[in-house]
Amino acid sequence: MPALGEYANVYNSALEVLRQKGYRIWKNERADMFCAEKDGWDFMADGAVALLGLVAMYEFHGPEAYSEYWWKKEGPLDFPNLPTDPPDYDAVWEKKPK
């Protein structure tokens, strides 16, 4: 079990993070999508956690003006070729408190 996963019980927390960051948030009922806007930059996603992820991409890149593919970042990870085995690590939820 991961320390945190994308489930409906996380939606309120994700929406509150967005609200505290100054985003206006709404649910587009017709499209059944979650939406956020701040300073003219608008975002739309299937869920609140995904919406927070899109906003994180925007904040990471910090574009000053809109351009096509402003969000694209090349790197060593490639979606179709992601490893299928997790790396070795000590999960925080498996550690016993001292």
Say how far apart CA 98 and CA 89 lie, in whole Å. 19
The confidence score (pLDDT) of residue 90 equals 84
**Could you tell me the residue ranges of all domains in the chain?**
8-64+80-94
3-class secondary-structure state, position 53: helix
Q: Give pTM, 2 decimals.
A: 0.86
pLDDT > 90? residue 6: no
**Would the pLDDT of 92 be above 90?**
no
* Chain mean pLDDT for the chain: 92
Burial 73-95 (b: 16+ CB within 10 A, else e): eeeeeeeeeeeeeeeeeeeeeee
- pLDDT digit string (tens) for 39-81? 999 999 999 999 999 999 999 999 999 999 999 988 888 888 8
Q: In what helix (H) or strand (E) does residue 55 lie, and over which residues does it extend?
A: helix 48-61
